[in-house]
């Protein structure tokens, strides 16, 4: 089976997924692209040697699986159209501009019963998988405290050139929803369920409804806590970077960036994992990292089940983001988000 793939959207994130597909060992072909910015779609179509669809429906008709990579407010209608046609769907994050929309999208996919996945792709990164192994090692003891910083220049400029991310009606909100929904997902995936969220936000760029600095305090069900700082700045020479320090009773594990290195320190034991050593180290532990795009296509070929994180899984970080915004609106009150 050659999986025919269509792309709704031809911007930065669509090009990212198309590039990743080049390393996927599943028979597939990008057959169509649609973007209301025709010049952008034309460039994508030339790059991928695929057809330029005139409408969303035309693209869906030509495809077995569709990647939804448009601005956030377009996701619900496009997902409804894709699933109504019975096509598999990979939907970028965040799902929608608010929590109620995300929940409705999950219900739509559940009713359609199609193979689906969402763009919370950090879970498949070797560096994050290694960090999870280190944290979960019984010799590390219980998690005590997590310090997490995520920063990038505001993506209305530079290589992203996503002017829509500065428009509330298209993006829904700013750095926490649009960017750090990844981080909220990863916090629970690594450290367990969160019980309460409190937050403060600010709008240094003066964009209505688009926060660019957020401080989140998360308290976990098991008693440990985490701080998350999410920042959109104007340092164009600085790449998008995540740094996470996880202090456990008998260890410190540090993620320096999405792709590592990862370091750890225990009494009498310390180490560092980088590009050359991450995958072999994971292999020794029976873990074989697989690109999210490959997991998705494998499921399409097999007819299911859907790989994680599914669209239903992506609702939980929306719950956390919604609580953070509600907390900030009250001056930082703790909001109960116990699962």
pLDDT tens sequence across 25-40: 999 999 999 999 999 9
The sheet carrying 88-91 orders its strands as: 51-52, 28-34, 3-8, 65-68, 88-91, 116-118
Question: Do 109 and 137 sit in the same domain of this protein?
Answer: no
Q: State both tokens at 233.
A: 């700045």
pLDDT digits 0-9 by tens, 55-112: 999 999 999 999 999 999 999 999 999 999 999 999 999 999 999 999 999 999 999 9
Residues 80 and 163 both lie in one domain: no
Q: Which 3 state secondary structure label does DSSP give 31? A: strand
If you search the block for the tokens 């496009």, which residue do you land on? 78
Mean pLDDT of 5-24: 97
Query: Packing angle between helix 315-329 and helix 181-191, nearest 10 degrees?
Result: 110
Domain hosting 146: range is 122-289+317-336
pTM flag (> 0.85): yes
What is the average per-residue pLDDT within 128-137? Answer: 98
The token pair at 295 is 């997991």
Contacts of 82 (CB under 8 A, 6+ apart): 60, 66, 68, 89, 114
Based on the domain organization, do 191 and 325 belong to the same domain? yes
Percent of the chain with pLDDT over 70: 100
Same domain, 162 and 13: no
pLDDT of 40 reads 96
Cross-strand pairs, 214? 201, 230
Q: Nearest to residue 74, comparing CAs of 57, 87, 91?
A: 91
CB of 33 closer than 8 Å to CB of 44: yes
Compute the average pLDDT of residues 120-140: 97
* Strand, helix or coil for residue 154: coil
User: Counting Cβ atoms within 10 Å, is residue 98 exposed (0-12), middle (13-18) or buried (19+)?
Assistant: middle
Task: Clarify whether residues 69 and 127 are in a common domain.
Answer: no
Q: Based on the fold, state whether residues 132 and 250 are members of the same structural domain.
A: yes
Q: Are residues 261 and 192 in the same domain?
A: yes
Name the H helices within 90-220. 99-112, 126-136, 168-171, 175-178, 181-191
Domain identity same for 68 and 196: no
Q: Which two tokens stand for residue 199?
A: 């937050």
Contacts of 220 (CB under 8 A, 6+ apart): 143, 191, 192, 193, 194, 195, 226
DSSP code for 307: P
| Chain mean pLDDT for the chain | 97
Q: What pLDDT, in 10s, does the model give residues 238-286?
A: 999 999 999 999 999 999 999 999 999 999 999 999 999 999 999 999 9
Quick one: which H or E segment has residue 173? none
* 210 lies in the same domain as 304: no
Q: Which residues of 129-162 are buried (b: 16+ CB within 10 A; e: fewer)?
A: bbbbbbbebeebeebeebebebbbbbbbeeebeb
Band (pLDDT 50/70/90 cuts) for residue 1 is confident
The encoded tokens of residue 139 equal 């010799």
Are the CB atoms for 293 and 17 separated by under 8 Å? yes
Task: Give tens-digit pLDDT for 42-54.
Answer: 999 999 999 999 9
Measured distance CA(304)–CA(307) in Å, rounded: 8
pLDDT at position 195 over 90: yes
Distance CA 62, CA 53 (A): 9
Q: What's the pLDDT tens digit per position in 305-337?
A: 999 999 999 999 999 999 999 999 999 999 999
What CATH number does residue 196 fall under? Answer: 3.30.360.10
d(CA 35, CA 51): 12
Which residue from 295, 321, 318 is spatially nearest to 117, judged by alpha carbons?
295
Same domain, 148 and 263: yes
Closest CA to 48 of 65, 34, 69: 34
CATH, residue 47: 3.40.50.720
- Same-domain status, 204 and 252: yes
Joined tokens for residue 125? 């990164």
Strands 251-255 and 225-233: unpaired
State both tokens at 237: 């020479």
Residues 153 and 228 in one domain: yes
The C-alpha atoms of residue 62 and residue 31 are separated, in whole angstroms, by 7
Domains contained in the chain, number? 2
């Amino acid at each position: 089976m050659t999986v025919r793939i269509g792309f709704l959207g031809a911007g930065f994130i669509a090009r990212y997924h198309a590039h990743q597909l080049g390393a996927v060992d599943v028979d597939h072909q990008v057959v169509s692209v649609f973007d209301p910015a025709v010049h952008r779609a034309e460039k994508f179509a030339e790059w991928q040697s695929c057809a330029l669809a005139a409408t969303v429906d035309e693209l869906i008709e030509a495809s077995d699986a569709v990647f939804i990579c448009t601005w956030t407010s377009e996701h619900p209608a496009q997902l409804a159209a894709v699933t109504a046609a019975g096509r598999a769907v990979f939907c970028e994050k965040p799902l929608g501009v608010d929590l109620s929309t995300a929940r409705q999208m999950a219900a739509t996919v559940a009713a359609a019963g199609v193979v689906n996945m969402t763009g919370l792709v950090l879970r498949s990164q070797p560096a994050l998988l290694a960090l999870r192994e280190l944290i979960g090692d019984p010799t590390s003891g219980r998690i005590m405290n997590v310090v997490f910083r995520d920063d990038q220049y505001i993506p209305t400029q530079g290589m992203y050139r996503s002017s829509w991310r500065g428009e509330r009606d298209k993006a829904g909100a700013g750095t926490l929803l649009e960017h750090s929904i990844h981080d909220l997902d990863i916090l629970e995936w690594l450290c367990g369920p969160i019980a309460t969220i409190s937050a403060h936000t600010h709008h240094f760029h003066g964009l209505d409804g688009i926060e660019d600095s957020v401080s989140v305090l998360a308290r976990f069900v098991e008693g440990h806590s985490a701080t998350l700082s999410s920042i959109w700045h104007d340092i164009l020479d600085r790449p998008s970077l995540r740094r996470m320090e996880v202090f456990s009773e008998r260890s410190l594990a540090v993620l320096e960036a999405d792709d590592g290195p990862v370091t750890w320190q225990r009494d009498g034991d310390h180490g560092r994992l980088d590009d050359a050593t991450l995958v072999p180290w994971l292999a020794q532990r029976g873990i074989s990292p697989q690109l999210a795009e490959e997991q998705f296509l494998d499921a399409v070929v097999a007819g299911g089940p859907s790989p994680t994180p599914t669209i239903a899984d992506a609702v939980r970080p929306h719950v956390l983001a919604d609580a953070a915004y509600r907390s900030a609106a009250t001056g930082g009150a703790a909001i109960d988000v116990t699962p």
